[in-house]
Amino acid sequence: MPRTPTTRPRSSRTTRSRPSPAPPIPLAVTGEPASIAGRRLGHFELIEAIGSGGMAAVLKARDLELGRIVALKILPPEAARDPESVTRFKQEARSAAKLDHENVARVYFFGEDQGLNFIAFEFVEGDNLRVIIDRRGQLPPGECVRYMMQVAAGLNHAAERGVVHRDIKPSNILITPDGRAKIVDMGLARYLGSELVNGTVTQSGVTLGTFDYISPEQALDPRRADVRSDIYSLGCTFYHALTGRPPVPEGTAARKLRAHQEDDFLDPRELNPAISDELAAILARMMMKDQAARYQTPNELISHLKGLAERLHVADPLAHDSATKAVPAEPRLLPETPRLRPWWVMAVVAVALAAVAFVVSTGNPGPAPGLPGTAGTFTKDKGKEKGNGQDANNGGGPAIQGPALPANPANSVVPVRKIEELAKRLENPDPATTKVVLAPGEFDLRRLPKGILFQGNALELVGAGAGLTKIIVNASASTNRDTSVSLTVSARTVRN
């Protein structure tokens, strides 16, 4: 019999297809936040893209375990292929984890998922300072002082824990709707107590920092940067905020680096007349080329900012910070008005033991007491002096050695030219402060037939015109005082 062909029964099992892998999370800010909404990275649910930079992207996300909104900073895959970038990214997390301060964005978590390294930071509502400057232009001095105090408080907290930020700039300062300033992005931060961990990050010979705001010493060697470098960058940042432009607004990276090393910056008062002499003096000291001439600690800077805030009637924003709340306000930002005691002025008719000469310069003003070393930080706009409107900020103008008095509102000021006129002004002082404008020349008070009894509260001597003004008096032993006492007359310029 012929065999009946048999057929094999088909297997009842069906082949199941494996699910295709999810597409990679887009990290560029494309303007389409829906493309990442609902995706997950670890235990975080992504909401939208909120920013990106040269080294990382920032996404708004929800922490599903703790139920709070965070900012996820993600290292892109291409950067993750560079071991140094990964090391620096992890170092950022370690540095930020040491900090817990109202003016520093806190770090909550560090993790890796789907091949992506990420840090979960405190989410801060508001805009960064660079966006605010671009939108509004020059910011009011009072507002800037309030922000500067807060950033300085954050830097003080970091410095106390051995952390240097090394990339203070407008885009790394977030301003909340209620005016709170917060430092973000510790991407270049360095923990001073961990050279071994950090060594490979800064030994590649690459300049770390942002050229518009980098300190001279950090540009040469990032390992030399300490909190004084952050203070320099903070000064450059608020120079930008107050004037609408960075200290070196144009040029190549090499040009900007050289300017931070060598050039005097354009006096910010030339760009914004609302900047007071006190604020200009503070900026000048923050931005000194020599780090030893700057403020040595953030609290030292805060002390002067508090004194200026009181003058500007700016409310103290540091009530939350016990470390800086106790810092006393320093009111002496500019030279105090010279004070002459009657016994000392009367000495001009006594037996001369020593001739003391006082020089009132009518050129550029000198450094302010309590603000040493501000000479050579800023220059005048040479183009404006010539009337051609050109910007000569790159070392072309004479150095502004310290803050000058505001322009004299009285255009009819007649300078004193004779010692008899000076004697008359001193013997009949105003109830509060006697301000005497002196013409260039020599005022030898020893030639007066009788002594001068000055009974005012304060005496301010101001130079006018070009040249020097010299005042000579005699010191006397009859006063039973130290005859080496000298009167320092601050150099000022009277603008008519």
What CA–CA distance (Å, rounded) separates 385 from 266? 13
Helices 298-312, 277-286: inter-axial angle, 10-degree rounding: 170
d(CA 273, CA 282): 16
Question: Could you give the C-alpha distances from 309 to 152, 336, 474, in angstroms and in order?
Answer: 14, 18, 41
Top-confidence residue, 165 or 334: 165
Q: Is 98 annotated as a binding residue?
A: no
Average pLDDT estimate for 149-171: 93
Catalogue all structural domains in the chain, each as residue range(s) with its CATH number.
33-122 (3.30.200.20), 127-325 (1.10.510.10), 342-365+404-479 (no CATH)
How far apart (Å, rounded) are the C-alpha atoms in residues 496 and 493?
10
Measured between alpha carbons, how far is 124 from 150 in angstroms, rounded to an integer? 15
Picking from 65, 57, 79, 68, the residue whose alpha carbon sits closest to that of residue 106 is: 68
Greater pLDDT, 2 or 294? 294
User: Tokens 């009788």 map to which residue?
Assistant: 450
375 pLDDT above the threshold of 60: no
**Residue 368: band (very low, low, confident or very high) from pLDDT cuts 50, 70, 90:** very low
With contact defined as beta carbons under 8 Å apart, do 440 and 468 qualify?
A: yes
**Is 61 or 449 the better-scoring residue by pLDDT?**
61
In angstroms, the CA 435 to CA 433 distance is 6
Q: pLDDT over 90 for what percent of the chain?
A: 36
When pLDDT is cut at 50, 70 and 90, the band that residue 293 belongs to is: very high
**Cβ atoms of residues 176 and 123 within 8 Å:** no
| 279 pLDDT above the threshold of 90 | yes
Please report the pLDDT score of residue 36 as a whole number: 80
Segment 152-162 shows an average pLDDT of 93
- Mean pLDDT, to the nearest integer, of 296-318? 93
Between CA 266 and CA 305 the distance in angstroms is 22
90/387: higher pLDDT? 90
Query: Over the stretch 395-438, which tens digit does the pLDDT of each residue have?
Result: 333 333 333 333 443 344 678 888 788 777 777 766 555 677 88
Helices (H), 181-271: 195-202, 216-220, 227-243, 253-262, 268-271
pLDDT reading at 473 higher than 60: yes
The strand pair at 57-63 and 68-75 is best described as antiparallel
Alpha carbon distance 349, 473 (integer Å)? 9
3-state SS class at 324 = helix
| Top-confidence range, 172-181, 186-195, 333-342 | 172-181
Q: Given this model, what pLDDT does residue 195 score?
A: 40
Comparing C-alpha atoms, which of 227, 211, 117 is closest to residue 164?
227
Give the CA radius of gyration of the chain.
Answer: 31
Count of helix runs (H) and strand runs (E) in the chain: 15, 19
Count Cα neighbours of 132 within 13 Å in the Cβ-side half-sphere: 27
Helix pair 195-202, 83-97: axis angle to 10 deg: 140
Q: How confident is the model over 345-357, as pLDDT tens digits?
A: 333 333 233 333 4
E strand or H helix at 475, and its extent? strand 468-475
Average pLDDT, stretch 181-204? 54
What percent of the chain has a predicted confidence (pLDDT) above 70? 64
- Report the mean per-residue pLDDT for the chain: 74
Give the β-pairing of 265-266 and 354-361.
unpaired
Q: What pLDDT is attached to residue 402? A: 39
pLDDT in tens, 430-459: 655 567 788 777 777 777 777 776 666 667
List, for residues 210-251, the tens digit of each pLDDT value: 789 999 999 888 888 899 999 999 999 999 999 999 999 988
pLDDT at 491: 38
Of 141 and 196, the structure prediction assigns the larger pLDDT to 141
Active site residues: 167
